[in-house]
C-alpha cells in the first residue's frame, strides 16, 4: 500500500487526535465505532415481516345484515343481555359468560378436569371429580427434562388424556319450561362419570374454552370448526344442514312461466319468463337463510342446547324462547350504572334491565321476523319459534364489538417506537424467523383460519391447502393443524364427522362430493388423494394469550414457558401423529434450552395484551355474574355449588384480570 505525503500528514493528525478544525479525532475510535454500528445492525432482529396493527383489518360483517336487523345498537344491547344472563341455563344460573368471563375465557380451578371426548386406546386418569388443580399438576404430559424431546434417557414422568376445561350443568332430562320460572323442570339422570359417591355433579366440557375476544375474525369457530361460516338461523352447521328454516311473516309467493309483454324502445314484443307473484294476507313462511360471515352466530346457538354445557337434555330453542320471553333481562344480576351498552336500560334498583326480551327483540329485528300472531303446528308463537335466529344474530352483533386492537404491539406498529421493549422485539424476531411461529399464527390476528387470511383483500391461504406435511404432501384445511399435543385418535378435531351432516373438514367435504357453499376455490380432491386433517384444530389467536391460560385444546399447559418449551423440543406425539402432523413442529434448535430466548418470546406474546382486556374496560365491561366453581359439599343427595361473584363493572373497568399461571401457582 502506498500513501502520498498529504495522506501521511492527515493520518498523523488523525492518529494524534488533533483535527485541522481544532477539535480532537481518533481514527481508531472512528473505525471501532463504525464496526460496532455494523455489528449492532447485524444483531438486530429482522422485523420486516411483522404484521400490521389489528385496526387495519376490517371486522367481518354479514353483507345482508340489513335484511334482518332494524337497529344495530338495539341488537348489540339484546346480544349483551342474552350473553350474560344466567337465567338462560336450565339450572337458572348458567350463562354463556359463565365459561367466558375471564378475558373471554375461563379460569376456574375446581371441578374443571374431565375425560374429554370418547377416546380409543388406554385412558389414564389422575384427577377426581371436584378436585382443585395445582401448579404441580401441569403440564399434563410431563417429561423428565422439558427442554428435550421424549427418549429413553428423557422419559415421560406423567401423562393423561384428561381435559382441563369448563364446567356445565348437572345431568338431567328436560321436561318443560314454566313461564316466569328460571329453573326448567327436569328429571335427574344417574351420571356414571360426573358424580361423587353417586351424587351428580356439574359436567365438564370436552375441550378447553377459547376466548370470545377477537373471535369475530375467524372463518369458522369451535376448535373443530363446526360453527359454520354461514348462519342458518337454527344450529351451528350452516350450509351442511339442508333443512334448516326460520319463519318469516310474508305473503305467499308463487312462481310460474308466463308470456310477458315487453318493449324495446317503442316496439312491443313477448318474452317467456319465470314470474313471481304474491297473494293473500301475510302468513308464516319457512324460509332458508345462509348469512355469510356468521360464524359467531353459528357458534352462539350451540351451547344453549348442549346437555353438558347449559341445558337439560332435549330442550329445544323454542322452549328456551318461551322461558326467556317471560323473564326480565338479567333480573338476578347487578348492572353497573356506567355499563357501556346496558346503562340506558338499567333498572332503577340496579338489578337487571327495565325492559322485556320481547321489547328488545322488536327494537332490534325487522318486523317480518317476529310480528305474526300465528301459532305454529308445534304450538309455539312466531317469536318463540325464531328464538335461535334472534339469539345467534344478536350475540354475534355484541361479540363483534369485542375487538382488542390497542395492545402495545398495535401501538408500536402505529408509530409509537417506545411501545415495545427490546426484549419483546427480540422475541418478535424469533417468532417471525427462527421459530416459524408466524406460519400458523399469521396476520394481524396472530391466528389461523381467519376471514382475512382465507378470503380477505389479500388472502395468504386457501380454505383447502395442498402442502408438504411431515410425511409428504397432503390436502388439509387452511388454518387447522395437528401439532402433536395429544395422540390423533384421542380427538379427531376438524377430521371428525357429524352423524347427520357428514365431515366437518372442507377438504373431506370436497373429497366426498359435498362442496361447501360459496367455496371460492377451484380445487379437486379425489378419493385417492392424501388428506391430513385428523387431529387438527383451529389455530387460536395469540392476542391476550397472557390472560387466557391454560393452553392448547386440552388445557394441559399452565404457563407460556411450558408452551414455548413444547414447540422448542418437538411435538410430544411426533411419531404417533406423523401421518397428519404439521411440518413446523419438529423443534426450534435456536430456542431449545435457552431461557433468555424463551423469555424473549414470552415478552413478545405479552405485548399482545390489550390493557382494556386486563381491566375489563369498555367494550369488555359486564354485568355481575354468579359463577359455580365446583361444589362445597353434598346435602340431601344434592351437590351444593361453591359460588363466587364476579362484580359488575362499567366502561372504566375494575380489578385486574390475572393470568392463570398466577392464579394457580
Asked if 601 contacts 591 with a C-beta cutoff of 8 angstroms, the reply is: yes
Asked if 547 contacts 615 with a C-beta cutoff of 8 angstroms, the reply is: no
DSSP 3-state of 561: helix
- Which residue from 477, 478, 462, 467 is spatially nearest to 522, judged by alpha carbons? 462
- CA dist., res. 328 & res. 493, Å (int): 39
Q: What is the structure's pLDDT at 191? A: 96
| Dihedral-angle region of residue 267 (phi above 0 means left; psi in -120 to 50 means alpha; beta otherwise) | beta
Q: What is the structure's pLDDT at 124? A: 63
- CA dist., res. 423 & res. 518, Å (int): 44
Integer CA distances (angstroms), 567 to 57, 545, 593, 601, 620, in order = 28, 16, 11, 12, 31
| Dihedral-angle region of residue 276 (phi above 0 means left; psi in -120 to 50 means alpha; beta otherwise) | beta
- CA dist., res. 194 & res. 171, Å (int): 8
What is the helix (H) or strand (E) element at residue 6, kind and residue range?
A: helix 5-16
**What is the phi/psi pair of residue 286, to 5°?**
-80, 115
- Which residue from 338, 339, 385, 330 is spatially nearest to 357, judged by alpha carbons? 330
Residue 542 DSSP label = -
DSSP letters along 137-174, please? G--SEEESSTTS--BTTB-EEEE---EE--B----EEE
Q: What is the structure's pLDDT at 649? A: 99
Asked if 130 contacts 631 with a C-beta cutoff of 8 angstroms, the reply is: yes
- CA dist., res. 570 & res. 485, Å (int): 10
Q: What is the structure's pLDDT at 252? A: 75
- CA dist., res. 506 & res. 89, Å (int): 32
Q: Provide the b/e sequence for 143-153 (b: ≥16 CB within 10 Å).
A: beebebbbeee
State the Cα angle at 609 between 585 and 304, rounded to 5°: 80
As a 3-state breakdown, the chain gives helix, strand, coil percent values, each rounded to 5, of: 25, 20, 50
DSSP letters along 239-290, please? GG-TT--EEEEEEEEEEEEEEEEEEETTEEEEEEEEEEEEEEEEEEEEE---
- CA dist., res. 289 & res. 330, Å (int): 30
Chain centroid, CA 552 distance in Å: 12
- CA dist., res. 294 & res. 63, Å (int): 10
Asked if 480 contacts 533 with a C-beta cutoff of 8 angstroms, the reply is: yes
Q: Which three cell numbers stand for residue 545?
A: 394469550
The residue with cell 429413553 is 152
- CA dist., res. 110 & res. 186, Å (int): 26
Contacts of 395 (CB under 8 A, 6+ apart): 79, 82, 83, 96, 296, 297, 300
pLDDT digits 0-9 by tens, 12-65: 334 444 443 344 445 444 444 544 444 445 578 999 999 999 999 999 999 999
Integer CA distances (angstroms), 48 to 44, 424, 433, in order = 11, 15, 10
> For the chain, how long is the longest CA-to-CA vector?
109
Contacts of 6 (CB under 8 A, 6+ apart): none
For the CA atoms of 387, 390, 396, 401, what is the dihedral angle to 10 degrees? -130
Q: Beta-strand (E) ranges in 101-140? A: 113-114
Asked if 640 contacts 115 with a C-beta cutoff of 8 angstroms, the reply is: no
Asked if 547 contacts 106 with a C-beta cutoff of 8 angstroms, the reply is: no
- Which residue from 648, 487, 512, 420 is spatially nearest to 161, judged by alpha carbons? 487
Q: What is the structure's pLDDT at 254? A: 75
Q: Which three cell numbers stand for residue 206?
A: 370436552
Name residues of the chain where pLDDT drops below 70: 1-42, 119-124, 279-280
The residue with cell 367481518 is 60
Q: What is the structure's pLDDT at 638? A: 94
pLDDT digits 0-9 by tens, 348-391: 999 999 999 999 999 999 999 999 999 999 999 999 999 999 99
- CA dist., res. 637 & res. 197, Å (int): 10
Asked if 553 contacts 481 with a C-beta cutoff of 8 angstroms, the reply is: no
- CA dist., res. 124 & res. 157, Å (int): 13
Integer CA distances (angstroms), 250 to 64, 256, 428, in order = 18, 19, 56
- Which residue from 648, 650, 654 is spatially nearest to 618, judged by alpha carbons? 650
- Which residue from 459, 452, 386, 424 is spatially nearest to 601, judged by alpha carbons? 424
- Which residue from 446, 363, 498, 418 is spatially nearest to 79, judged by alpha carbons? 363
Asked if 600 contacts 425 with a C-beta cutoff of 8 angstroms, the reply is: no
- Which residue from 366, 296, 372 is spatially nearest to 82, judged by alpha carbons? 296
Name the pTM for this structure: 0.90
- CA dist., res. 498 & res. 502, Å (int): 5
123 preceded by a cis bond (ω within 30 of 0):
no
User: How many beta carbons lie within 10 A of that of residue 378, not counting itself?
Assistant: 9
Asked if 29 contacts 23 with a C-beta cutoff of 8 angstroms, the reply is: no
Amino acid at each position: 500500500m502506498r500513501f502520498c505525503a498529504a495522506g501521511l500528514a492527515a493520518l498523523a493528525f488523525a492518529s494524534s487526535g488533533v483535527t485541522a478544525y481544532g477539535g480532537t479525532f481518533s481514527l481508531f475510535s472512528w473505525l471501532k465505532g463504525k464496526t460496532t454500528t455494523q455489528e449492532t445492525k447485524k444483531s438486530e432482529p429482522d422485523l420486516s415481516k411483522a404484521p400490521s396493527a389489528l385496526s387495519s383489518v376490517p371486522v367481518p360483517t354479514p353483507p345482508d345484515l340489513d335484511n334482518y336487523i332494524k337497529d344495530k345498537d338495539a341488537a348489540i344491547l339484546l346480544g349483551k343481555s342474552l350473553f350474560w344472563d344466567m337465567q338462560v341455563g336450565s339450572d337458572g344460573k348458567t350463562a354463556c359468560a359463565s365459561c367466558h368471563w375471564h378475558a373471554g375465557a375461563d379460569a376456574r380451578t375446581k371441578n374443571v378436569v374431565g375425560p374429554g371426548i370418547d377416546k380409543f386406546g388406554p385412558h389414564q386418569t389422575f384427577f377426581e371429580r371436584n378436585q382443585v388443580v395445582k401448579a404441580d399438576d401441569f403440564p399434563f404430559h410431563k417429561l423428565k427434562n422439558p427442554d428435550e424431546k421424549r427418549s429413553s434417557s428423557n422419559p415421560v414422568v406423567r401423562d393423561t388424556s384428561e381435559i382441563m376445561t369448563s364446567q356445565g350443568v348437572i345431568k338431567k332430562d328436560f321436561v318443560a319450561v314454566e313461564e316466569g320460572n328460571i329453573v326448567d323442570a327436569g328429571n335427574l339422570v344417574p351420571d356414571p362419570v360426573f358424580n361423587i359417591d353417586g351424587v351428580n355433579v356439574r359436567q365438564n366440557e370436552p375441550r378447553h374454552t377459547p376466548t370470545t375476544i377477537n373471535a369475530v375474525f375467524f372463518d369458522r369457530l369451535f376448535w373443530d370448526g363446526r360453527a359454520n361460516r354461514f348462519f342458518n338461523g337454527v344450529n351451528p352447521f350452516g350450509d351442511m344442514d339442508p333443512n334448516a328454516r326460520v319463519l318469516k311473516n310474508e305473503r305467499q309467493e308463487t312462481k310460474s312461466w308466463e308470456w310477458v309483454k315487453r318493449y324495446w324502445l317503442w316496439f312491443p314484443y313477448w318474452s317467456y319468463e319465470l314470474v313471481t307473484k304474491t297473494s293473500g294476507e301475510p302468513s308464516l313462511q319457512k324460509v332458508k337463510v345462509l348469512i355469510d360471515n356468521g360464524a359467531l352466530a353459528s357458534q352462539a346457538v350451540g351451547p344453549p342446547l348442549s346437555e353438558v354445557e347449559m341445558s337439560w337434555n332435549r330442550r329445544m330453542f323454542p322452549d328456551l324462547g318461551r322461558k326467556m320471553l317471560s323473564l326480565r333481562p338479567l333480573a338476578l344480576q347487578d348492572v353497573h350504572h356506567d355499563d357501556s351498552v346496558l346503562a340506558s336500560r338499567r333498572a332503577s334498583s340496579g338489578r337487571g334491565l327495565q325492559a322485556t326480551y320481547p321489547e328488545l327483540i322488536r327494537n332490534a329485528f325487522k318486523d317480518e321476523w317476529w310480528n305474526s300472531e300465528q301459532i305454529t303446528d308445534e304450538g309455539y308463537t312466531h317469536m318463540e319459534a325464531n328464538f335461535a335466529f334472534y339469539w345467534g344474530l344478536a350475540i354475534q352483533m355484541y361479540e363483534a364489538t369485542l375487538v382488542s386492537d390497542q395492545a402495545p404491539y398495535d401501538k408500536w406498529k402505529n408509530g409509537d417506537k417506545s411501545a415495545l421493549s427490546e426484549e419483546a422485539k427480540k422475541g418478535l424476531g424469533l417468532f417471525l424467523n427462527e421459530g416459524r411461529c408466524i406460519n400458523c399464527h399469521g396476520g394481524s390476528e396472530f391466528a389461523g383460519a381467519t376471514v382475512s387470511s382465507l378470503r380477505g383483500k389479500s388472502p395468504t391461504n386457501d380454505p383447502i391447502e395442498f402442502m408438504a406435511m411431515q410425511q409428504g404432501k397432503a390436502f388439509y384445511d387452511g388454518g387447522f393443524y395437528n401439532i402433536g399435543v395429544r395422540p390423533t385418535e384421542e380427538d379427531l378435531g376438524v377430521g371428525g364427522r357429524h352423524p347427520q351432516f357428514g365431515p366437518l373438514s372442507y377438504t373431506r367435504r370436497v373429497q366426498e362430493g359435498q362442496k361447501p357453499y360459496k367455496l371460492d376455490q377451484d380445487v379437486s380432491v379425489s378419493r385417492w388423494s392424501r388428506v391430513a386433517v385428523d387431529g387438527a384444530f383451529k389455530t387460536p389467536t395469540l392476542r391476550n394469550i397472557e390472560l387466557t391460560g391454560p393452553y392448547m385444546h386440552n388445557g394441559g399447559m399452565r404457563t407460556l414457558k411450558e408452551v414455548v418449551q413444547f414447540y422448542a423440543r418437538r411435538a410430544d406425539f411426533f411419531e404417533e401423529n406423523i401421518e397428519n402432523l404439521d411440518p413446523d413442529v419438529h423443534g426450534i434448535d435456536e430456542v431449545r434450552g435457552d431461557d433468555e430466548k424463551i423469555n424473549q418470546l414470552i415478552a413478545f406474546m405479552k405485548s399482545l395484551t390489550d390493557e382494556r382486556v386486563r381491566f375489563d374496560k369498555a367494550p369488555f365491561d359486564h354485568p355481575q355474574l354468579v359463577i359455580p366453581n365446583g361444589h362445597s359439599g353434598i346435602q340431601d343427595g344434592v351437590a351444593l355449588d361453591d359460588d363466587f361473584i364476579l362484580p359488575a363493572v362499567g366502561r372504566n373497568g375494575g380489578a385486574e384480570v390475572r393470568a392463570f399461571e398466577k392464579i394457580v401457582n
